[in-house]
Amino acid sequence: MNRKAISKAKRIVIKIGTSNLTDKSYRLEPRKVEKLAKEISELKRQDKEVIVVTSGAIGAGIGKLDLKQRPRDVKVLQATAAVGQSVLMSTYDRSFARFGQTIAQVLLTYGDFVNRQRYLNIRNTLITLLKSDVIPIINENDTVAVDELKFGDNDTLSALVASNLGADLLILLSDIDGLFTYNPKRSAKAEFIPIVDEITDEIERIAETGGKTSVGGMKTKIQAAKVTMKAGIPMVIANGGKENILMQIIGGAPVGTLFSPKQERMNDREHWILFSASPKGKIKVDAGAKTALVKQGGSLLPSGIVGVENEFICGDPVSIVDAKGLEFARGITNYSSSDIEKIKGAQSSAIEQLLGRKEYDAVVYRSNLVLV
């Protein structure tokens, strides 16, 4: 995808970093919020659907509570987020109201994406809001999220939201102009990278050594790009502090770093299997089964299975690995781990004899399988 094609994007997810909303003391700057509200409202007037994923709740809480630094204790951090979320949303509400826009608060946790029904509920709610001409403003629910079920940063959250909604574009607004070979704030040798069409080892290295600009820094932005590019969605990293940055991006101007996907869009189910569902166990297969899945587009039959790891039940997401233990696919299993132990290596015609029943010929059907 080239930059001119971006102008055709209809559904756009915009992630706003803390630095784009607050001053150096973490206090919300209404002027910054109003700037972005104005630009987003202009996109709406161009008949774009806009979803905002926002940071800033903890920072706003630090300012509201007049704390000297970011709390380290988890309970204090969650309480600070609760205070700050109220400040953040009231500021957004006042700013967007000036431009005649209605907003809605949506708080999510990682668990909302892992559970298939909740995942679909998120999608239905957000689409309903968009159809009602409302701008959803999404944040992680820091007050209830625990470490095991945290996104950890809003870059990851915004990528999952973009994929969940089948967005046409994801924009990550930060305090830097895009991706550089080195951290531009630390090195004069830093060179700007305008377009990325593949996440190479070199791009990974740059992300690792690029320094932090937020909770996640450049590393999490590259992780977000992996999700969107795999899902067939372009992504742009840009400086949210620049005037009319959103209109420039949509207008095809050479601003920010464009991550351009090579593959076609994933459907909703494929995306959930690959990015949102947490595998409950592993199914190990032989070389013949791997070839059938990867090169021939086949389903996973019991004859090609050599073993299972961990316990899981019918309908659970599972990881499919080769003889060396390397994951190459994920899918939704038709049989439990205990059933698979009984039918592994057998022909599909023998399933009923071995289990006393036969609901499916395949352990994982191709329609419920995605290559990693």
Is residue 126 within 8 A of residue 53, CB to CB? The reply is no
Domain ranges of the chain: 3-270, 279-371
Distances (CA, A) of 225 to 75, 166, 236: 31, 15, 9
Top-level class of domain 3-270: alpha beta
Mean of per-residue pLDDT scores for the chain: 89
What percent of the chain has pLDDT above 70? 95
pLDDT band at 150 (very low <50, low <70, confident <90, very high): low
241-294 residue pLDDT tens: 999 999 999 999 999 999 999 877 777 788 888 887 789 999 999 999 999 999
50-65 residue pLDDT tens: 999 998 888 888 888 9
State yes or no: pLDDT of 213 exceeds 50: no
Q: Which fold has domain 279-371?
A: 2.30.130
Lookup: tokens for 325: 């233990």
Q: Which of helix, strand or coil describes residue 309?
A: strand
Q: How far apart are CA 51 and CA 64, in angstroms?
A: 26
Task: Name the phi and psi angles at 327, rounded to 5.
Answer: -70, 130
Q: Is the pLDDT higher at 198 or at 97?
A: 97
pLDDT of residue 292: 94
State yes or no: pLDDT of 216 exceeds 50: no
What percent of the chain has pLDDT above 90? 60
